[in-house]
Every structure is written in C-alpha cells, then in structure tokens.
Amino acid sequence: MARPQIDRAEADAVLQELRRREDEDDCENFHRYELDAEQRLKSLFWADADSRLDYYISHGDVVVFDTTFRTNKYGVPFVPFVGLSRHRTPVFFGCGVTSDESLDSYVWLLRAFAMSISQDRKPRSVITDGGDAVVGAVRIVFPESNHRICSWHVERAIDEHLHGSSTQDEFRSLMRDACSPEAFEERWYGFMARHGTAANHRWLEDMYGKRELWAAAFVHDKFFLGMASDQRTECLATCLHTGLHGGMSLPDLLAHADACTYALRLDVARLDVEADRSRVELTTGHRCLEEHAARRFTPANFYLLREEIMMIDGFEVVKTLARGHPIFGKKVYVVGFKQRWGVFFYVECSGDAVKCSCRKMEREGLPCRHIFCMLRHNNLSRIPDCCALRRMRRRGDTKAERLDEMKELGHQVFDLASEDAQEFQEIKEFLEGWLEHRRSGAVAVGDNNAADGDSVPPMTKKTKLIED
C-alpha cells in the first residue's frame, strides 16, 4: 500500500506557523522537516522553547517515544516525546510526524529530537513501543542510552499472541522476575518447549531477539525511574493521544499538541505551588529522617520514600567493614534482616557517595531502606545530597537546604559561644546588627536563586516561567 501523502497546503501552513514562532515569538523555538522526492512533507519535528528548557533543566533523563498512534486523516504516526516531571506527571519535550515508517525516517526523527536538546545531555534511558524500525533507530542515534520496551505494549502483544491464563502468566514471570541472564535462558527454552506453537513461533522468536529490551533479567538494574512495572506511568505519551480523531489535519495536530502541552505545564505549575504549601503528616517512628525527606522531596516522591523509611525497623547493621571490602569499596555497612539471616545488603560510603548493593538508587533515583538503615545506625537525620537527585526535589528545595545548613552550623556556634561570656556577647551583637541592617534594607536583597548551585545554566533564551 502506498504511503499516505500529506497535503501540500496543510504542510505549508504548519511550516509557516513554526517559522513565525521561531522568528517572532522566541528564537529558541525549534523545528526541522524533511521532504520526499516529490517535494512533499515526509517528516516533521518541532519543540517550543519551554519544552527544550524542561528537558535541559533535569527532566530529560528518561524519554518515552511512542509511534503507535495514527489517529488522523492521513493515518501517519503522531509521535510525542515525553518524560516524567518531579511530580511524576508527564512533561513534554517535542513532537514529530512522519509519513514513512522506515528505519531511515525514525533515525531522522530521533536525530531531529537530538538536535533540539543539549548536545551533552542525551537521555540516559529511552522507552519505546518496540517496533523493529524504532529499535534500530534508537541503537543508531542513542547507542549509549538504556533502552527498553514499554510493558504496556508487551502486555498487548501477550494478549494477542498467547492464549490461556497460565501461559500468559508464565510469560509475564519471564518479563518481571529479576533473575540472572543465564537463568532466563534456561527458563525461556522451557517455556518454548511447553507453549511454542506454529501460530506464535514467529512472535516468540522476535521477542527472544529483543529480550534485552523487556526482560527484567536484562533491564532490572538500569535507570528507568521505577517505571519497570508501572504500565500507567510508562504510557506517558497517551496524554497527548487522548482527543485525537480520524479527521484531524496536520494543523489540527499542531493545535492539539499546543493545547495538551499547555495543560501539562499548568498541571506542573499547580503541583509546584501545592508542594511549596504542603505539610505532610509524619507517620513513621523515624521523625527526623521523615521530616527531612518531606521538606526536600516533592510529595509524589516523598510518599515513595516514606514506604522505604517505614521498612527500616525490619533491618539492622550487622557489621561494619571499616577497612573496606574487595568488591564494594572503602567503608561498607552490612545490612541484614532482623528476623531472617543469610540475606545481606552492602551500603558503601566513599567520600560524598553512598551506594547500596540492591541498586534501587541506580534504578529509580530514590534511596532504599538499606541506606536509611545505615543513616539511622549513624544517628544521621539528613539524606545525603548524592541520594537526592534534583529532578526528585521540590522547586523551593534550595531554601530548605540552606535553612538546614544554617541550623546545623548555628547549633555548633551557639553551643561553643555559650560557654564563654565574651564570645556569647560578640555573637549576639553580630546577629542583632545583621538583623537590623537586613530589616532596614541595608543588605541588598537579590535574586534568591542567583547564587544557587542548582540554578539553571544560562541559555540563549528568555525563560518563560509559569507563576501562580
């Protein structure tokens, strides 16, 4: 069947609008297009300035790329590039349309996306629908990125190609069990012997060829922000597919993308305001750690962390390897179950770095119960900076961090100064003088974020901020 051709007038109208936005609205708006031999529009990618900024700030570490939705009058893929915000909601990075679903076209589309983002900030991980051309394109354009197939698409294929609940459940266990690659191979051949048929053989062979993109044995330890089993979260791109219909033209798709991305940004802005104002109830027996997590992380991430904090009562540090460990590094805490011996986790502390052998931090970007157990063992009430990724934290987290540092430093200064009457008076007079000048305006009040180590690096654009 001949590939659909996009109407010239529609293509010209959309390209003219994208050029206007780039020339008149903001020079950081971005678009690229490709024409076929007949000078018709073959592929198009666009991203506005705010989408590029969202990627640049921190949300672009995991990118979802879905090509399976073709709900428009041409039947061509409408391809949004989507990520996960600090509130675990969708955030938009750009959008593409291509009328040629070949490997070359998807390579072109991914390269256009790569051109729109910072060249030194390629995505750490990519989640796709798993089409053969898409898989090949990711290998070519982002060879160093982790890549996995969205489990929602795998589930759809299971329902289509495998019959019987026991057969489907056995395949799902291959998908979800974090066994070794060797154990997976043994289990796979057993599955094929029991359930392989002439009808499903081709699909099973194809899935085996892609096993490193969907089986937990191969993807479990890779960084996907905890989206390994959460199908709803993985299908972030569906937020831009809702509302599509078969009669939509190319200008309709552009307007649809504009409306959806505007709604997504409003949602993130609303959640930022709610996070700044929120005061969560502390429910665990580890108040200091829980309180610090509540101040530092967005509510969506804090609730995940609280589950880990609640679990540390079942663990204890059974040994400290002060001289180091041949595998795990310098200072290592051996953490085990209180009621079950023989299973141990190793928390390595080396300088400013903290790692655990369970690798939850490396997979999901959030510290595990074993790290919290080590912090409790050392009577520490602060979560280390290395365990608090910026993309997981509140928008106003910098002020909270400064306040915590000032409290800790002040406690030490006041404790020492209170032992000597003269030092006490000097410190008291200094603080009273500073407050007087601050209140009178003698101390200049600048941009609170200007000297912030987490401030956004300068970009050649006028940043548009959504304020409440």
> What DSSP string runs through 435-467?
HHHHHHT-S----TTTT-TTSPPP-SS------
Distances 428 to 198, 402, 410, 411, 419 between C-alpha atoms, Å: 85, 21, 12, 14, 13
Other Cβ atoms closer than 10 A to 464 = 13
Structural tokens at position 160: 């289509």
Taking phi over 0 as left and psi of -120 to 50 as alpha, with beta for the rest, 162 belongs to beta
Integer Cα distance of 168 and 155 in angstroms: 9
Burial of 212 (0-12, 13-18, 19+ CB in 10 A): middle
pLDDT at 211: 96
The residues facing 95 across adjacent strands are 46, 80
Residues 125 and 190 in one domain: no
In the DSSP assignment, the letter for residue 124 is S
**Last residue within a domain, chosen from 336, 370, 392:** 392
The DSSP bridge pattern shows strands 146-149 and 315-321 to be unpaired
pLDDT one-digit tens code per residue, 355-371: 999 999 999 999 999 99
Residues 15 and 70 in one domain: yes
**Last residue within a domain, chosen from 392, 423, 454:** 392
Residues 49 and 132 in one domain: yes
Give the dihedral of Cα atoms 33, 39, 42, 44; nearest 10 deg: 20
Integer Cα distance of 3 and 281 in angstroms: 57
Integer Cα distance of 359 and 344 in angstroms: 13
Residues 12 and 49 in one domain: yes
Residues 171 and 141 in one domain: no
Integer Cα distance of 422 and 411 in angstroms: 18
pLDDT at 238: 67
**Structural domain total, the chain:** 3
> Radius of gyration (Cα) for the chain, nearest Å?
26
pLDDT at 37: 87
Residue from 449, 450, 444, 438 nearest 396 by CA: 449
Structural tokens at position 367: 């510290």
Residues 137 and 252 in one domain: yes
Residue from 464, 306, 293, 465 nearest 392 by CA: 293
Look at residue 416 and tell me if it is in a domain.
no
Intervals of the chain under pLDDT 70: 1-4, 119, 228-239, 323-329, 396-405, 407-408, 441-468
Residues 199 and 247 in one domain: no
Look at residue 133 and tell me if it is in a domain.
yes
Helix H or strand E segment including 353: strand 353-356
Integer Cα distance of 235 and 224 in angstroms: 13
Residues 202 and 296 in one domain: no
Beta carbons within 8 Å of 441's beta carbon, 6+ residues apart: none
| Structural domain span for residue 180 | 163-224
**Are the C-beta atoms of residues 97 and 128 closer than 8 Å to each other?**
no
Residues 27 and 72 in one domain: yes
Look at residue 311 and tell me if it is in a domain.
yes
Give the 3-state secondary structure of residue 74.
coil
Look at residue 2 and tell me if it is in a domain.
yes
The DSSP bridge pattern shows strands 146-149 and 125-128 to be parallel
pLDDT one-digit tens code per residue, 405-440: 676 677 778 878 888 888 888 888 888 888 888 777
pLDDT at 106: 96
The residues facing 320 across adjacent strands are 333
Integer Cα distance of 54 and 89 in angstroms: 13
Look at residue 28 and tell me if it is in a domain.
yes
Residues 3 and 131 in one domain: yes
Integer Cα distance of 299 and 278 in angstroms: 8
Burial of 326 (0-12, 13-18, 19+ CB in 10 A): exposed
Look at residue 457 and tell me if it is in a domain.
no
Look at residue 360 and tell me if it is in a domain.
yes
Look at residue 144 and tell me if it is in a domain.
yes
**Are the C-beta atoms of residues 74 and 251 closer than 8 Å to each other?**
no
**Last residue within a domain, chosen from 355, 374, 392:** 392
Structural tokens at position 172: 């799902």
Residues 56 and 168 in one domain: no
Beta carbons within 8 Å of 397's beta carbon, 6+ residues apart: 295, 296, 297, 454
Residues 308 and 372 in one domain: yes
Fill in the amino acid letter for 317. Answer: V
